[in-house]
A and B are shown apart, each in its own frame.
Chain A
Amino acid sequence: MIAELGHFALILALFVSAVQATLPLIGAHRGDAGWMAVARPAALMQFLLVAVAFGCLMNLYITSDFSVLNVAQNSHTDKPLIYKISGVWGNHEGSMLLWVLILALFGSAVAAFGANLPPSLRARVLSIQALIAVGFYLFILLTSNPFERLIPAPINGNDLNPLLQDPGLAFHPPMLYLGYVGFSMAFSFAIAALIEGRVDAAWARWVRPWTLAAWCFLTAGIGLGSWWAYYELGWGGWWYWDPVENASFMPWLAGTALLHSATVVEKRDTLKGWTILLAIITFSMSLLGTFLVRSGVLTSVHAFATDPTRGVFILILLIIVIGGSLALYAWRGPQLISTGLFQPISREGGLLFNNLVMATATAVVLLGTLYPLLLDAVGGGKVSVGPPFFNAVFIPIMLPMIVVMAVGPMLNWKRGDWRAAVTRLWPAMVAALLAAVGAWALVTDGPFLGIVGMALAAWLAVGTLVELTERLRLRRDGLGRALGRLARQPRASWGMTLAHLGLAVTIAGMTGAGAWVKESIQVMAPGDTVTLAGYEFRFDGAQDGQGPNYAFTAGHFTVSKGGRVLVVLDPEKRVYNVSGQPTTEAGIEPTLLGDIYAVIGDRGTTPEGKPGFVTRLYFNPLVAWMWGGLMIMIAGGALSLSDRRHRVGAPARRAAVAQTAGAD
């Protein structure tokens, strides 16, 4: 009964969104206020209906109703409650339902908080949102119905993939989808603006908070996924340039560029066409990511069982959305007139340079990700493009951007003086030099890129702080007045400072963990000791035990440095009862300097012939900085989001234009 209710609600949501996609659009074209007014109640109703459908599925999971195919395939009565809930989106059908739920959530937020949007813009935005929704409702109802019955019902379910029974991964998909789907707002606003033929500062202020929110969620989603891969897969790595990872990284790159170019539209009334194009590209990357992950066309270390027929459906959807929006852009884009003029050396110039680099980087990742598909399609053989390619191409492209990132915020709008800016950045140069020398002296056997990475991180961090002190006029007015100014800084500029600092910390972490990781693989018998990066790992043996829904073998390592015991690590190897699938739980001791990391594998024999276990030990320098830096970046984004100016729907069009002209 509940399954049928959910299914029915989903079908109704399709009809509501079909109405929402057409009537307001026609109404906006004809200037008919009554037809435009349909958009808001329709968006709210659509959200209500999907929420009912989603609630029904969640109810089926919590009550373990195995007469529903989806539940029987992905759940089990013995599973802890939190994983019954996360199991709702831990599978294809449920995750697509989550996708449309979030899409409808964003649409209803525009309906609820967009009171001061011009009615025609609001009607068009909601219609475009509903158009995307129609495509995905059809996709779910025709190819991936989560409410399909399984008669007769089995006694118990197949259980959720044990790798997904993990707190990090329970919240990874919702975060990622909030990011992916959040960019649909920027897309809908962009298409609506193209139809209206009008982009101005107020438009940018409406778009920015949505983009920023989506960016924060996507950053969190990528971070959670990478953290999960790091501690759950037991291979000591955190990024593999795998197609599925790239799928989430491309919208992030494009979305970051969009955030920065939207600032230029808002402050300087220029780069309009480019911003619209970026909005289209960003959401297209989100759709492409959904396609790559859900279709399984690419070999991925993160791939789950997939169904190619669904891939074709998403591919068609992808072609319609991307092709249609780019065609509209080609037709209407030239009508967008920018008024703000600026010199190449200026704040705008710096932001545009950021955009060019980010766009190039997105293109490179896209090429590397799709190249195996293209080559296979023309019969060129099966290839894979992995970390060596991306490291060789992506890193050199990003380096100049990090250098400019410290300079850009020091430049004035319209016309800047780069010599003066660079001169004032001397503390950053000193810091970079010190970091390079320090890295070179401490790590004698590391790659050259490690030194470059540390120098850049120091340059960016100190450069960002220099910019902050300039903004506070610390050196001119003294500490007291500077502190007073510090408290009055708009939250948006705090957000920028924090986000850039966070990136510096992340770069340091990635450099440390990427360039200087130490690894050792061997068979260890109880009592054996391995020394790695100055740490002594003593293997104290292993014993078997029983968890809530799995059996485990836990190894014990005593880690000491210079004779002093630091920590005892207990990595596990688990075998889940229902599926019989084994998983690895790494034993990790995170420290500020680096993570001590141990994994226990199968039984084996040592070179001396003693029985023992295969063990894999790592020292990952600075790896915690990477996630710490990501958290700082997210905090920066959230802080900027809370700024009065960016509060959802805060600016009214005319007032905002006047205000922009007055400010700056």
Chain B
Amino acid sequence: MKRKHKRLTFAAIGLGLLGVAAALVLTAFEDSIVFFHSPTDIAEGKVKIDRRVRLGGLVEEGSVQKQASAVTAFRITDGANVIDVTYRGILPDLFREGQGVVTEGRLQGSLFVAEEVLAKHDENYMPPEVADALKKSGRWQEGSDQKHPSKGESAK
């Protein structure tokens, strides 16, 4: 086999792999990309029932209720709208009322059934999507009381 043919063989294998990868990526994107929504999006009917989505905002103060069988009910708010959420399981350690949260699950009627509540490693961490959603609804400004002024962000 000539040098050129050899190169062509591997170029073909490489392109073939990329083609397969592209096909896999496109089909996977179709079903496995998860869109992020704020409570307002859901209230405005932008979210399809039963599609897996992420819902983020602040856990409303006083809304967390422990129910039977390890189910926790709470409400997520972006200041403008509020959505009821249930989650079965152990909540992440840093899940608190009044703090930012991102959940992943499906909308069933007007109730959001979370299959996952995303854990945070740092109590001062605000997921960027949540910050954006809160900014949109006018609830949050840079440097407001959402963050501890003394920690994490203050080093400049």
Contact = CB atoms under 8 A, between A and B. Distances in A.
Contacts of A161: 121-122
A327 B56 CA distance: 42
A523 B69 contact: yes
16 contacts: A73-B155, A305-B147, A305-B151, A356-B14, A364-B25, A371-B29, A382-B129, A383-B35, A384-B36, A386-B104, A388-B28, A393-B25, A397-B21, A579-B123, A606-B68, A607-B68
B134 to A, nearest CB: 13
A604 B54 CA distance: 26
Contacts of A92: 155
Interface stretch (A40-48, A121-129, A338-346): A338-346
A3 to B, nearest CB: 14
B120 to A, nearest CB: 7
B9 interface: yes
B150 interface: yes
A141 interface: no
Contacts of B91: 601-602
B82 interface: no
B107 interface: no
B90 A616 contact: yes
Contacts of B14: 356, 359-360
B43 interface: no
A352 interface: yes
A516 interface: no
B21 A381 contact: no
A628 interface: no
Contacts of B121: 161, 163, 301-304
A363 B70 contact: no
Contacts of A523: 68-70
B31 interface: yes
A80 interface: no
B61 interface: no
B119 interface: yes
Interface stretch (A211-219, A426-434, A580-588): A580-588
A555 to B, nearest CB: 12
Given A392-B32, A579-B123, 9 more contacts: A299-B129, A307-B156, A381-B36, A382-B35, A393-B25, A396-B20, A523-B69, A614-B89, A616-B90
A392 B151 contact: no
A158 B151 contact: yes
Contacts of B122: 161, 303-305
B13 A381 contact: no
A388 B155 contact: no
A573 to B, nearest CB: 8
A73 B102 CA distance: 26
B155 A93 contact: yes
Interface string A272-306: 00000000000000000000000011110111111
A320 to B, nearest CB: 23
A236 B61 CA distance: 29
Contact of A70 (B24, B124, B155): B155
A489 interface: no
